[in-house]
Amino acid sequence: MIAIYPGSFDPVTNGHLDLIARGAMIFDKLIVAVAHNLEKDPLFEVKERIELLEAVTFDWKNVEVDVFDGLLMEYANTKNARVVVRGIRAVSDYEYELQMAMMNRHIEPQVETVFMLPAQQYSYLSSRLVKELARLGGSVKDLVPPIVAERLRAKVGKEDA
């Protein structure tokens, strides 16, 4: 079965990798789909996010990194995916994700949404917090893969990030 794990991944965190690793064990193929989200002001360009994701998911042979624009359900149909994987860290995530899952079911009833909880050590982790910490000069070394920490340091111009 093919599943899609969509997101902005700006940047990819260890929490994302936790879900990717577990999703790769469950599904025959997991497509990590980087969304072109015009509402957000990304730190990394889409091309950079894809490069980082490809570098950190290289060892999982059933994980593919791709980019999509437009409706997720249309993209899922083009990929023959029947599952969308979404991570939920807190009740606030659940409320938003439930709305999205129900709208996606309305658009395409054949695609199911599967909610996954991150490992406990990543339950507070978000790309937004990682970027903020890096911009303020804090260390992100335990929050993101080393290559991402390196690229964050270069982007924000802080040595400790």
DSSP string, 39-51: TS--SS-HHHHHH
Q: Chain-wide mean pLDDT for the chain? A: 92
Give me the catalytic one of 8, 49, 86, 127: 127
pLDDT, tens digit (0-9, with 9 covering 90-100), for 16-33: 999 999 999 999 999 999
Domains of the chain: 2-123 (3.40.50.620)
Residue 36: DSSP 8-state: -
- Round to whole Å and give the CA distance between 37 and 145: 23
Asked if 40 is an active-site residue, the reply is yes
Confidence of residue 109 (pLDDT cuts 50, 70, 90): very high
Give me the catalytic one of 40, 47, 123, 139: 40
Give me the catalytic one of 8, 16, 49, 131: 16
Asked if 127 is an active-site residue, the reply is yes
Asked if 89 is an active-site residue, the reply is yes
Q: At what angle do helices 146-156 and 46-56 cross, to 10 degrees?
A: 150
Give me the catalytic one of 22, 79, 89, 135: 89
pLDDT, tens digit (0-9, with 9 covering 90-100), for 117-141: 988 888 888 998 999 999 998 999 8
- Round to whole Å and give the CA distance between 147 and 104: 34
Work out the average pLDDT over 59-83.
96
Confidence of residue 91 (pLDDT cuts 50, 70, 90): confident
Asked if 16 is an active-site residue, the reply is yes
What order do you get walking across the sheet with 29-35 strand by strand? 63-68, 29-35, 2-7, 83-87, 112-116
40 versus 105: which is more confidently predicted? 105
